[in-house]
Amino acid sequence: MRQIVLDTETTGLSADNGDRIIEIGCVELVGRKLTGNNLHFYVNPERDSHEDALKVHGISNEFLRDKPKFAEIADALLTYVEGAEIIIHNAAFDVGFLDKELERLGKPVFRGFVAEVTDTLSMAKQLYPGKRNSLDALCDRLGVDNSGRTLHGALLDAELLADVYINLTRGQEALLIDLGEVGDDAAEARTIDLRQFQLPVLSANAQELAAHEATLNDIDKSSRGKTVWRLSPSA
């Protein structure tokens, strides 16, 4: 499935009290790989940012004066995300702001345009209960380089979150096997008769079995309990 990692910056913390989106950054993943087909907008919010918000994102009110309003970029954004899985850190915040902007334009809610919304904050809380799970904390924990993040920025944060998401769901990419280039004609594929080999059977020792079980547990947590080997036959 096509996945879009999305982040916004805003004038403040409350969409219901009139705060607006000032920046949107989107990063595309296909097959869990970055495609480079990203989307980025600065948006004129038609109001000033709160002082505390300015300290977080550093985007001045003057810089945004000549930027397009949300109404001017809405169709391009919705076309870009249509049908994709959207990955957001603390999704309720960003989706709440997007819904309020769409409401002003008489459009349906954001979730109506996409396949689903995945919240990496919820995923992190399940994997690391009781720990700090901010984007910076996850970058540190998962070995993602965030040294260039002195201020919040929607596109930079989306790029960091894409790396964090891949690491949060680690193990999935290891299940993929690269078969190289294979011709369209199945008859061209080389076959090997394994009956000619005497293959030794090596049993795993206790340490290897424990490591294997730990890996399965990690994958099961990443999939939120949906791994097929943990489902009962009735499921």
pTM to 2 decimal places: 0.72
Q: Which tokens sit at 162?
A: 């894409």
| Tens place of pLDDT per residue across the chain (235 aa) | 899 999 999 999 999 999 999 999 999 999 999 999 999 999 999 999 999 999 999 999 999 999 999 999 999 999 999 999 999 999 999 999 999 999 999 999 999 999 999 999 999 999 999 999 999 999 999 999 988 776 688 999 999 999 999 999 974 444 343 444 445 554 444 556 656 666 677 888 888 888 888 888 888 777 777 777 666 655 4
Domain ranges within the chain, ordered by starting residue: 2-174, 191-230
DSSP 3-state of 30: strand
DSSP 3-state of 138: helix
Side-chain-side CA neighbours of 109 within 13 Å: the count stands at 8
Tell how strand 85-88 and strand 39-42 pair up.
unpaired
**Strand partners for 21:** 10
**Strand partners for 232:** none
CATH code of domain 2-174? 3.30.420.10
Torsion from C-alpha of 57, 10, 168, 76, nearest 10 degrees: -120
Which residues neighbour 198 within 8 Å (Cβ) at sequence distance 6 or greater?
Answer: none
Query: Of 50, 57, 89, 152, which is the active-site residue?
Result: 152
Known catalytic residue at 50: no
